[in-house]
Amino acid sequence: MKAVCVVHNETSTGSVSPIAQVRQAIDAAGHPALLMVDTISGLASIDFRFDEWGVDVAVSGSQKGLMLPPGLSFNAVSNKAFEVSKTGGMRRSYWDWQEMAAINPTGYFPYTPGTNMLYGLNEAIAMLHEEGLDNVFARHQRHGAATRAAVRHWGLEVLCRQQGQESGVLTAVLVPEGHSADAFRATALQHYDISLGNGLSKVADKVFRIGHLGDINDLTLAGTLTGVELGLRKSGIPHSEGGVAAAMAELECTRFEPLAAE
């Protein structure tokens, strides 16, 4: 085995993997495997610590917590992974880290970079620092908790059953047996112009996903949850009314004074 690959924020289920513990398990086994992490939907929405958690390769992209269109993807690479890549023997060109690293000190790219996306990325990072990363992470945790409060009130089930591992990025919600999550999503889109995520593979048509990543605040979350509740009613999915009020109560009791930005 050369590497252990883990998804940081599992976007199809709305659960978070304990990356540091995976590293500890690899180390406890005395195994030289690299730790590779997909943090495409986790980065900039929930805490991620490349160095501290002993990650060797992280993959991320522009289109989730960084609030940009799709089009940019990037790697963070440890010295250990960089050395391993030199002796891996796999032939590559475009994806070659050596070429990229060789020209890095000059600030240039070996190929034409997505310049306009990089301007956008610069601005996204400035926005995140302006708010303060800890505040950003706390905001998403809070919005995840408020969303789960709404789901519980509706009498529906959050797909992630592992307490403490529920995602601050999105919440996947099971619809009751005998109901179609996709029909519900279509109804919500048609009547309330709200686009909810679909269930993938095993949970296709069984769950819908509420995103609360990126540029979202209490008001936009409340609007989102209202759209879901209206859609549940319109679709005839059995639920208790008042999930939005339950979410608002959760927001009220977890209201926090943002820390001064770094």
> Is residue 11 a contact point for ligand PLP (CB under 6 A)?
yes
From the list 14, 15, 26, 41, which residue makes contact with ligand PLP (rule: CB under 6 A)?
41
Q: Which helix (H) or strand (E) holds 225?
A: helix 218-235
> Is residue 40 a contact point for ligand PLP (CB under 6 A)?
yes
42 vs 231 by CB, closer to ligand PLP: 42
Quick one: which segment of 34-42, 146-154, 180-188, 224-232 binds ligand PLP (CB under 6 A)?
A: 34-42
Instruction: Name the minimum Å distance from CB 166 to ligand PLP.
Output: 16
DSSP letters of 62-119? SSSTT---S--EEEEE-HHHHHHHHHS----STT-HHHHHHHGGGT--SS---HHHHH
209: tokens are 């996903």
Instruction: Name the minimum Å distance from CB 226 to ligand PLP.
Output: 25
> Is residue 171 a contact point for ligand PLP (CB under 6 A)?
no
Residues in contact with ligand PLP, total (CB under 6 A)?
7
> Is residue 85 a contact point for ligand PLP (CB under 6 A)?
no
CA distance 65 to 212: 10
> Is residue 173 a contact point for ligand PLP (CB under 6 A)?
no
Spatial contact of 194 and 228, defined as CB atoms under 8 Å apart:
yes
Quick one: which segment of 35-43, 100-108, 109-117, 132-140 binds ligand PLP (CB under 6 A)?
A: 35-43
Instruction: Give how far Cα 218 sits from Cα of 44, 97, 151, 250, 251, Å.
Output: 18, 41, 16, 11, 7
Spatial contact of 6 and 35, defined as CB atoms under 8 Å apart:
yes
Q: Which residues bind ligand PLP (CB under 6 A)?
A: 7, 11, 38, 40-41, 61, 64
